Chains A and B, each alone.
Chain A
Amino acid sequence: MLRRYGSQYAPAVLMIAVAVAAFFAFPFNLAFLTRILIMIVLVLSLDLVLGYAGIATLGQAAMYGAGAYAAGLFAIHVWADPVAGLLIGALAGAALAALAGLALMRTHGLTLIMLTIAVAQICSEIANRARDITGGADGLRGIRMQPVLGIWEFDFIGRTGYWYAFAVAAVVMVLLAVLVRSPFGLSLRGIHQSPERMLAIGAPVYWRRHAAYTLGGGIAGIAGALTAQITQLVSLETFSFALSAEAMIMLILGGTGRLYGAVIGTVIFMWVHHTAAANDPFNWLFVIGAMVLAVVFFLPTGLISLPPALKRLAKGGRHAGS
């Protein structure tokens, strides 16, 4: 029993250790590390929607952007408390997902993908046109946050931002870990594998999918709120197709349907991007393209399957040798 829990919590402990180590190892890259953490939250939301519930989407940025604008506007006009802003962001993301989900969850495959894209594009165009409220293409500016929980002020180096984003990512991670092991999470997996069978045993497939999409939207909204609070500016790019597509690449890269896959995929993708772009920005796309292809062809279930694959390889090598 103890051992089982030990192995279950080992990755979590490892991740906290990595986060602490990163803080001390890269004290001057905290802003970049914070962006990775925010992206992890977004990719986790996509993992719930795509990886667990099997809802194909290329429009997760719609909820991310909604959360960002909602949190930004709330901070400017109502209350600049960060945690309250997160809740507002989550609500906005969830509300948009719930509304759009009513139509979206009736469809599948390419149609569903196109609908999710269309929703994000419409959101972007609305934000662009509502220039008096959102600042349009110039971006929503003037976001000045109060200290986190009234104690920790956002500092110049980004220490507060880093730990704040880390705490939010950790809470989201724990919530999702509990959720995917709950009966609800198990039924999502069931729907993903065989919607017909779940219908046959009387599960409300449509509403389960709708609930998963709404929850995923809420989490994406949290990620959006985080970015609004930390960058202090929200741009139309938060709704962009490129962002949705990148999040999807990170998720599949890491491995869908496993929370740690989302984390690993995001870290690796952003780190490779950062390094490649710093060394040869004009040609970094070669590196990303090659990496993506290599993963699909050699690690079809994502980077998360790298350790077992290596283990197999090592074993195979020994067998061959003996």
Chain B
Amino acid sequence: MNTTRKTAGAIGLALGLFAASGAAADTIKVGVIAPFSGPFAQYGIQYQQAIETYVAQNGASAGEHEIEFIYKDVGGVNPDQSRSLAQELLIREQVDYLAGFTFTPNALAVGPIITQSETPTVIFNAATSVINKESPFFLRTSYTLWQVSAPMAEWAYDQGLRTVVTTVSDYGPGIDAEVSFKAAFEAKGGEVVDTIRMPLSTTDFTPVIQSVKDQAPDAVFAFLPGGPPTFTYTKTYNENGLRDAGIMFLGTAETEESNLQGLGDMAIGLTTAYHYSAAHDSDLNREFQAKLHELHPDGIINWASVGAYDGVHLIYEMVKAAGSDGPAAVEAVLGMEWESPRGALTMDPETRTVIQNVYIREVERNAETGLLENAEKGVIATVGDLGWDQ
């Protein structure tokens, strides 16, 4: 690759020129690109809190290297900004690792440059399978939509549900969720009666819910982006008596912890399949939460927090194994197994997304704290990225 070599030369030149002004040689910098402003600022805040928690537990150095995190605000879905921040981090701050990435386009936009600069990049959230095909330097500690939607469908069939209507927001992730659910459910022998795609701008879900009710399936599968749509959808589900009509709610991230208390009592009984619940019963999880709440008493903990926490662990392991040598670092952690607050994880050498447990959960009110939580009812699958070959 002539281009790559030339670029590497250019970077080398830049590095050489500015080595004097750079940090001490044994410090390895990690650039975190995430939204810290705007409606999605919660993601950035959670990443930062989880990172600080990991550092507080494990120290600020990995092996012989000091680790320093540099946070950059990308605002929202903004690939232009994401890419230019990545360039700034790589060239000016001379970071050796990148991390963060809440939205798929923001991750895809840095694909070409991290391939050129050979920078391992850990995705804390973005959940489209296709991202990891864009560069061999992408590693993902969150999940993919296939990973949770397909087990949900199989579990639903095993529970005796035979007919389902899917209702998803009409955009990439929603369609991924619909396609994967449908494929898995029909492979088992169930029937997806109707697939409704709702435009992202939908504010009133009553028509959708009413249509579902009229078709009287055994269950309705939903996928919506977090925030206002999820909030109104679940409200509408309850208000229109679907639960009373015996139409079960099946979801994934809809009951995530940052908005769960806001949903109130109507959320009780909602069933979701997901890879992390803040209520997961393990010592590691309790230690993680205790430490985080010690540092940030009001901090919210959900899948974005644990994605970042495990992502930092992955970065520490890469630094220990290979320092700033990107390709060697990625090579070192492929196939790595470790215990996370969410359960056992393996970094899949092929898809570079973690293989993890998917739990079936039900929203309950915790008798002790009086707060709503996603109570885990069991592991329904241990899977890697099922969407990789699609």
Contact = CB atoms under 8 A, between A and B. Distances in A.
Contacts of A28: 14, 18, 88, 91-92
Given A32-B88, A141-B108, A156-B10, A282 B79 contact: no
B7 A139 contact: no
A231 B10 contact: no
B108 A157 contact: no
A31 B83 contact: yes
Contacts of A230: 80
Nearest to B200: A128
Nearest to B35: A281
A141 B10 CA distance: 25
Contact of B88 (A31, A231, A282): A31
Interface in B111-140: 111-113, 116-117, 128, 130, 134
B170 interface: yes
A230 B6 CA distance: 18
Interface string B55-91: 0000000000000000011011111110111011001
Contacts of A27: 14
B197 to A, nearest CB: 9
B199 interface: yes
Interface centre among B87, B104, B109 (most CB of A within 10 A): B87
Contacts of B14: 27-28, 157
A139 B37 contact: no
Interface stretch (B171-179, B184-192, B249-257, B281-289): B171-179
Given A155-B10, A235-B105, A285-B37, A31 B79 contact: no
Interface stretch (A55-63, A130-138, A301-309): A130-138
B79 to A, nearest CB: 5
Contacts of B18: 28
A196 interface: no
Contact of B11 (A138, A157, A233, A282): A157
Interface of A: 27-32, 34-35, 38, 121, 125, 128-129, 131, 135-139, 141, 144, 153, 155-158, 227, 230-237, 277-278, 281-282, 284-285
Contacts of A234: 79
A281 B173 contact: no
A287 B222 CA distance: 39
A153 B109 CA distance: 19
Contacts of A237: 76-79, 105
Given A32-B84, A277-B73, A139 B109 contact: yes
Contact of B37 (A35, A138, A277): A277
A228 to B, nearest CB: 10
Q: From DSSP, what is the main secondary structure of chain B's interface residues? A: helix
Interface string B130-165: 100010000000000000000000000000000000
17 contacts: A131-B172, A135-B172, A139-B79, A139-B105, A141-B108, A157-B11, A227-B80, A233-B83, A234-B79, A235-B77, A237-B76, A237-B77, A237-B78, A281-B41, A281-B44, A282-B41, A284-B37
Given A29-B88, A281-B44, 16 more contacts: A30-B87, A136-B175, A137-B105, A138-B130, A139-B109, A141-B108, A156-B10, A157-B10, A157-B11, A157-B91, A230-B80, A233-B109, A235-B78, A237-B105, A278-B72, A285-B37
A156 to B, nearest CB: 4
Contacts of A34: 84
Interface in B187-210: 199-201
Interface string B8-33: 00110010001000000000000000
B113 A233 contact: no
A141 B87 contact: no
Contacts of A281: 36-37, 41, 44, 73
Nearest to A31: B84
Contact of B105 (A138, A144, A282): A138
Nearest to B171: A137
B3 interface: yes
Contact of B79 (A144, A156, A158, A233): A233
Contacts of A233: 79, 83, 105, 108-109
Given A138-B108, A139-B109, A155-B10, A235 B37 contact: no
Contacts of B45: 282
A27 B14 CA distance: 9
Contact of A137 (B81, B84, B173, B201): B173
Interface centre among B104, B116, B201 (most CB of A within 10 A): B104
A31 B87 contact: yes
A232 B112 contact: yes
Interface in B293-317: none
B37 A156 contact: no
Contact of B7 (A121, A141, A155, A285): A155
A137 B104 contact: yes
B172 A277 contact: no
Contacts of A278: 72-73
Nearest to B17: A27
B269 to A, nearest CB: 31
Contact of A282 (B36, B113, B134): B36
A284 B76 CA distance: 14
A153 B199 CA distance: 40
Contact of A128 (B76, B92, B105, B170): B170
Interface string B356-390: 00000000000000000000000000000000000
B219 to A, nearest CB: 26
Contacts of A29: 88, 92
Nearest 4 pairs of A and B residues by beta carbon: A28-B92, A31-B84, A281-B36, A137-B171
